[in-house]
Amino acid sequence: MTTRNIEKEEKRKTQIVQAAFEVIASRGYNNFTIEDIANRAGLSKGGVLHYFKTKEDILIHLLEVIYRQIEETIVRRSQRYRTAEKKLKAIIIAFIVTAKRHPSVYTVMVDFWAQVSTNERVKNINGKIYGIICDEVRKIIDLGVESGEFVAVDSANVARLIVSMVMNVAIQWTFDNSGCNIDHITRACLSMVTAYLRKRRNIKAES
C-alpha cells in the first residue's frame, strides 16, 4: 500500500469515527445502525464496512480515540510546568476544560461505561486505557514524593482516586450544570488534592 493510500485510509477511518461519535452523542450507544453512521459520514454502508467489519469495531476504535485524546491533553498540559504540584493541577483542570469545551465527550463515555458489564471488549479496552491515564497521574505523584513536594502515599491508588473524582465532577456538570458551579468545584478539588499530598511542615500537633 502506498503512502498516499495509507493517508487516504486513515482519513476515511477518522471520518467514520467522527460520524460515530456524533451519532452516539445524539442517539445513545444502542440506538443507531451502521447506516446511520454511513449517512452521517456521507458514505455508503459498504464504504464503512470496507474499513470496519462490524459496528462494534467502530465503537471500540472510537473509545480508543477518546481516551488517547484525553491522555495526550493531560500530558501536554502537564509538560508546561516543572513542579509536580503545578503539573497535577494542570491535569485536573484539563479534565474540566474538556467537559466545558467538548461536553459530548463525557456523554459518549458514559454510554460506553454502561456496556462494561455486558461487553467484554469494551470492558477490556476501557480498563486498559483508563489505567494508562491513571498511570500518567501516578508518575507525577511519584515525582512530587521524590522532590519532597508531597508526602509518601500509595501513588497508584491515589492516582485512581484523583482521576475518578475529577471525571465524575466533569460528568455531573455535563449532564446537569444548572446547579453546578464547575469553577468553584474545580478549585475545591484542587485544594483537597494538594492539601492531601502536600508535605506538611511545622505542625505542632504532630510534634
The answer to whether the predicted template modeling score (pTM) of the entire model surpasses 0.75 is yes
C-alpha cell at 178: 444548572
Residue-range definition of the domain harbouring residue 80: 55-200
Question: Region 178-190: what's the mean pLDDT?
Answer: 85
Query: What H or E segment, with its residue span, contains residue 190?
Result: helix 182-197
Instruction: Give me the percent of the chain exceeding a pLDDT of 90.
Output: 41
Per-residue pLDDT for 201 more than 60? no
Residues 6+ apart with CB under 8 A from 115: 29, 122, 123
Q: Are residues 9 and 69 in the same domain?
A: no
Q: Which amino acid is at 166?
A: V
Residue 116 lies in a domain: yes
Let me know how many helices (H) and strands (E) the chain has, helices first: 9, 0
* pLDDT band at residue 199 under the 50/70/90 scheme: low
Per-residue pLDDT for 107 more than 90? no
* pLDDT band at residue 80 under the 50/70/90 scheme: very high
- Number of domain units in the chain: 2
> pLDDT digit string (tens) for 9-57?
889 999 999 999 999 888 887 888 899 999 999 999 999 999 999 888 8
C-alpha cell at 84: 509536580
Q: Are residues 4 and 98 in the same domain?
A: no
Residue 81 lies in a domain: yes
CATH number at residue 18: 1.10.10.60
How far is residue 76's CA from residue 44's CA, in Å, rounded to a whole number? 37
Q: How far apart are the first and last CA of the chain?
A: 69
* pLDDT band at residue 1 under the 50/70/90 scheme: low
Residue 206 lies in a domain: no
Q: Are residues 25 and 96 in the same domain?
A: no
Per-residue pLDDT for 163 more than 60? yes
Question: Region 86-112: what's the mean pLDDT?
Answer: 87
Q: Are residues 159 and 181 in the same domain?
A: yes
Q: Are residues 9 and 91 in the same domain?
A: no
Question: Region 92-106: what's the mean pLDDT?
Answer: 85
Q: State whether residue 148 is helix, strand or coil.
A: coil
How far is residue 30's CA from residue 55's CA, in Å, rounded to a whole number? 11
Residue 207 lies in a domain: no
Residue 183 lies in a domain: yes
Q: Are residues 66 and 31 in the same domain?
A: no
Residue 205 lies in a domain: no
Q: State whether residue 199 is helix, strand or coil.
A: coil
